[in-house]
C-alpha cells in the first residue's frame, strides 16, 4: 500500500518537474526553432511550431552582417577573465573570513551582499565618468574589471560557504606539517574545495556571459560581447525575428553547451552546503 502511494507520488513529481522544465525551456526552444525559419514564416499567425521551410540563411546573414566570432571572442575574454580575476581575489578573502573570523566578519559579508541590492543604474553615471577618464570605455580590460567587481560579492559568499564546510583541524594539521600559507591553500584547501570552486566558477561565467547592462552601456564596437551583438538586431530598421533569433541562438549556444556538460558539477556544487 505504502509502496503504491510512493510510486504514484514519484510519477506525479516526475510529470510536474517535466512540465516546469519545459515551461522554463520553452522560450529557448522557440528561439532556436525560429532561427531556422524564414523571416516570413517567423511572423506567421497562427504561428507554426516547426519551421515550414528549414533554412540556414539567417545564420550566414548574421555572420556576414556583424562579425559573430569577434563578439564571441570578446565574450570569452570578458567572462573568463572576470571569473579568473574574481577567484584570485575571492579565494584569499573567503579563506580569511572562514578560517580566521573576527567580530566584524558577519558585518563585512552583509555589506558585500548589500552592494548587490542597489540597482546598477544608480551608479551608471559615476562609473561611466570614471571609465571615461581612465580611457577604459569600450575596452576588454575595463569590462573585465567591472564584471569582476559586480560578481565579486557573490563569488566571495559562495566560496565562504564552501570553505566553512572544511574542518579547520585539517588546515591546522597542514600548518603543523610545515606548510606555509600558500602551500596550505594550494595543496589542501583548494583540492578539498574543488566542487565548490568549480560551481562558483561556472555560475560566474554564466552570469558574466549573460550580463547586459554594463556590457551595453560601456561598449561601442571594439569590446562588444555577444549580448551587444544580440541587441544590435533590435535596431531602428525594425525587428527581424528570424535573424534576431539566429543571433540569440549563436550567442547562447556556447554557454548552453557549457552548462549542459557541467550540470552534474553545477548541481553538486549548488547543493553542497545544503545536504553535506
Partner 1 sequence: MGSIILRNVRKVFGEVEVIPNVDLTIEDGEFVVFVGPSGCGKSTLLRLIAGLEDVTSGAIEIDGVDVAKEPPARRGLSMVFQSYALYPHMSVRSNIAFPLKMAGVSRDVIDSKVEKAASTLNLTGYLDRRPGQLSGGQRQRVAIGRAIVREPKAFLFDEPLSNLDAALRGQMRIEITQLHQTLATTMVYVTHDQIEAMTMADKIVVLNAGNIEQVGTPLELYNNPANLFVAGFIGSPRMNLLTPPPPGRDGAATIGIRPEDIQLSTEAGEWPGKVRIAEHLGSDTFFHIDVDDVGAITARAPGEFALSAGDAVWMTPNPERIHRFDGEGKALR
Residues that bind partner 1 (CB under 8 A): 167, 169-170, 172-180, 183, 187-188, 191-192
CB closer to partner 1, 23 vs 180: 180
67 vs 177 by CB, closer to partner 1 = 177
Q: How far is the CB of 5 from partner 1 (least distance, A)?
A: 36
Pick 199 or 204: Cβ nearer partner 1: 199
Enter the C-alpha cell of residue 133: 577618464
Distance in Å, CB of 6 to partner 1, minimum = 31
Shortest distance, CB of residue 273 to partner 1, whole angstroms? Answer: 17
Rg (CA), the chain: 23
Rounded-to-integer distance, Cα 262 and Cα 198, Å: 9
* Residue 179 C-beta: closest distance to partner 1, Å: 5
Check if the beta carbon of residue 212 is closer than 8 Å to that of residue 203: no
Nearer to partner 1, 52 or 92 (CB): 92
The minimum distance between CB 193 and partner 1, in angstroms, equals: 10
Quick one: 167 or 238, whose CB is closer to partner 1?
167
Amino acid at each position: 500500500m505504502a509502496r503504491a502511494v510512493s510510486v504514484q507520488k514519484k510519477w506525479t513529481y516526475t510529470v510536474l518537474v517535466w512540465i516546469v522544465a519545459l515551461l522554463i525551456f520553452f522560450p529557448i526552444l522557440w528561439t532556436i526553432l525560429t532561427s531556422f525559419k524564414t523571416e516570413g514564416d517567423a511572423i506567421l499567425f497562427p504561428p507554426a511550431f516547426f519551421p515550414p521551410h528549414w533554412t540556414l540563411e539567417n545564420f550566414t546573414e548574421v555572420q556576414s552582417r556583424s562579425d559573430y566570432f569577434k563578439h564571441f571572442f570578446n565574450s570569452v575574454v570578458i567572462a573568463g577573465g572576470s571569473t579568473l580575476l574574481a577567484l584570485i581575489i575571492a579565494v584569499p578573502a573567503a579563506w580569511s573570513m572562514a578560517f580566521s573570523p573576527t567580530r566584524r566578519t558577519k558585518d563585512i559579508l552583509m555589506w558585500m551582499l548589500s552592494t548587490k541590492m542597489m540597482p546598477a543604474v544608480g551608479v551608471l553615471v559615476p562609473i561611466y565618468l570614471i571609465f571615461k577618464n581612465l580611457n577604459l570605455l569600450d575596452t576588454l580590460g575595463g569590462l573585465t574589471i567591472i564584471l569582476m567587481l559586480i560578481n565579486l560579492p557573490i563569488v566571495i559568499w559562495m566560496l565562504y560557504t564552501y570553505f566553512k564546510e572544511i574542518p579547520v583541524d585539517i588546515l591546522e594539521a597542514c600548518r603543523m606539517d610545515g606548510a606555509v600559507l600558500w602551500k596550505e591553500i594550494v595543496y589542501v584547501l583548494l583540492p578539498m574545495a574543488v566542487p565548490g570552486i568549480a560551481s562558483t566558477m561556472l555560475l560566474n561565467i554564466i552570469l558574466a556571459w549573460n550580463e547586459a547592462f554594463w556590457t551595453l552601456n560601456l561598449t561601442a564596437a571594439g569590446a562588444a560581447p555577444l549580448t551587444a551583438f544580440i541587441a544590435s538586431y533590435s535596431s531602428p530598421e525594425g525587428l527581424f525575428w528570424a535573424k534576431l533569433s539566429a543571433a540569440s541562438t549563436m550567442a547562447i549556444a556556447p554557454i548552453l553547451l557549457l552548462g549542459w556538460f557541467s550540470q552534474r558539477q553545477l548541481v553538486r556544487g549548488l547543493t553542497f552546503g545544503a545536504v553535506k
